Amino acid sequence: MIALTAFSVLAALLVTYPLLVLIEVPDSRMVNALFVTAAAAFVVAPAAGYAFISLVFELEAAHSKLNQLSTHDGLTGTFNRGYLDSRLAIESTRATRSNLHFSVLMIDADHFKEINDQHGHSVGDLVLQKIATACAQCLRPYDTFARYGGEEFVALLPSTSLEQACEIAERVRATVSELVIISPSDRAIPVTISIGVAKLLVGETQTESMMRRADQAMYEAKRAGRNQWVCQKS
């Protein structure tokens, strides 16, 4: 800011002095005119600089917020479906090219419609937020966790075999089942999830089949009584 002010004062004097000479201002008045010019620049430059810097920070904050909104779910704070799809393509391509394991968890909140009907959508929103936080805490920094839609979430597990993915699924299931959520009427709301586990098969270049297997396994977990995980059938 000091450098900006000094530059502004110098620039103002360099512009003003030739103009005063050109219009033949007397020397007795030139000194006063240059003093006024320098004083004005000294006052205006910091204010203008502060306004400019503030605008830059506001634009940066707006850009950061826009980027956040474009990749994250507004309710749970997890990644959204669009970001998930992009990471799914990247991770599956990497796994295929490098001959690495790649697995996925399809996660669905149990009895979610009943929770909404009995306790209201605000409680339902809270349940989704708590589930998202609990699931994310069980995953590794390089995993991708996203809201897939409604009460469904997906976890992408790169460099993870099917057996390792099942271990992670059990950890996620157990953590969520320990959640304690109290309704506005002071009733404890049991929260559980059903999970389908699937892996990218050798030679498989498209992810649709893997996601479909995970979805089918998740529904098998639902039919088997919920609050459990089911691994894809080979």
Active site members: 151
Which has the closest alpha carbon to 74: 83, 87, 63?
A: 83
Question: Strand 193-199 relative to strand 229-231: parallel, antiparallel, unpaired?
Answer: parallel
State how far the Cα of 81 lies from the Cα of 89, in Å rounded to an integer: 12
Rounded (10°) CA dihedral 127, 133, 135, 136: 160
Here the tokens at position 8 are 């502004």
Which has the closest alpha carbon to 127: 188, 194, 181, 186?
A: 181
State how far the Cα of 13 lies from the Cα of 22, in Å rounded to an integer: 14
Which has the closest alpha carbon to 151: 225, 73, 228?
A: 73
DSSP run (H or E) holding 229:
strand 229-231
The residue whose two tokens read 């404890």 is 188
- 32 vs 25, 184, 229, CA distance in Å? 11, 73, 84
Rounded (10°) CA dihedral 130, 132, 137, 138: 120
State how far the Cα of 38 lies from the Cα of 45, in Å rounded to an integer: 10
